[in-house]
Amino acid sequence: MRMTFRWYGENNDSVSLEQIKQIPGVEGLVWALHHRAAGEVWPEEEVLEVKKQADAYGFHLDVVESINVHEDIKLGKETRNEYIENYKTSLRNVAKIGAKVVCFNFMPVFDWTRTDLYKKLEDGSTALFYETSKVNDMNPNDLIEQITNSGYTMPGWEPERLKTIKESFKSYEEVDEDQLWKNLEYFLKEVLPVAEEEDIKLAIHPDDPPWPVFNLPRIITSEQAIERYLSISDSPSHCLTLCSGSLGANPNNDIPAIIRRFHNRIAFAHIRNVRIYENGDFIETSHRTKDGSVPIDDIVKAYHETGFKGYARPDHGRHLWNEQCRPGYGLYDRALGIMHLWGLWDAYELVKRKERA
């Protein structure tokens, strides 16, 4: 397991590279050009600038999250080919600095949904929260206002997307799950050959949460959906970002079993925990298994048993000790999460060594 840490760039993150450097076992940054709108080419000179910043602290930039997919590609519009060509160029440009994995998603309009960005937990910390009844009645503009007021650019809710969100919702009135699958296949058949040429694993992220939201179709939601997705191509570049928090919001998803089944196609592991309530609400918690509903201990065990050598990150965390930070992306809880994950991994290593002795 190769540990990484998501970083939003200079002047766009409350966490510094100096702070990340002090977290044991972190060797690389998960990065993106967050100021670039979906569909734009990532210029080589901007990619090289990020590499310069990472090199100063000895971090690799093997994992990109995300080169966003333009909405016209998801909708299957005639204009999609232009944006697909831009995507290919961006893949080639990140390959020039050694990128090995590009995480992406195919969620319509936005990447994730929560109803409260700073919901208080019993211990006084706050975390991202999803209230089912509120989503069913919620106007997306209410969430847009929360995100805008947070003061941070949020992945999947970039200002460029928010400007056209009403039009985007209307466009999906004619797109169902079957059509979204077809549009995804079209995209993959175009970009996978380039990813393969550049030795990049293109790893899709599951839908968050893994069910339809605001009447928009969602397709990467379960083990069966992952099976269908991976059957599209046998290219070595056709891979998966396995997010335990996204899939884990549905208790019917057996994450350790999914890992054990598809381990050779998982290029990137997002490891985080959620606590699911009886009514379907969920809140993000610490990485410790007993604090949530996701079996983090067995998840790490599944990765260890299958010899996982891919990239991992602690994904989201709570906001601790009055930290002022981007929702879900504070320094402290993600650092604690890394140490918990390493503790589990080291324990399984010890057991393995004793069994060999």
Condensed to tens digits (0 to 9), the pLDDT of residues 305-321 reads: 999 999 999 999 999 99
Model pLDDT for residues 290-308, shown as the tens digit of each residue: 999 999 999 999 999 999 9
Model pLDDT for residues 103-132, shown as the tens digit of each residue: 999 999 878 888 888 999 999 999 999 998
Residue 269 pLDDT exceeds 60:
yes
What pLDDT is stored for residue 13 in this prediction? 84
Mean pLDDT of 191-204: 98
Residue 171 pLDDT exceeds 90:
no
Ordered by start, the domain boundaries in the chain are 2-356
Residue 168 pLDDT exceeds 60:
yes
Structure tokens at 82: 């232009």
Dihedral of CA atoms 269, 273, 215, 217 in degrees, nearest 10, equals 20
74-104: b (≥16 Cβ within 10 Å) or e: bbbeeebeebbebbbebbbbbbebebbbbbb
CATH of domain 2-356: 3.20.20.150
Left if phi > 0, otherwise alpha if psi is -120 to 50, otherwise beta: which for 110? beta
Structure tokens at 143: 């969430």
Residue 160 CB-half CA count within 13 A: 12
What pLDDT is stored for residue 162 in this prediction? 60
Mean pLDDT of 186-208: 98
Predicted TM-score of the model (pTM): 0.92
Read off the pLDDT band of 151 (50, 70, 90).
low
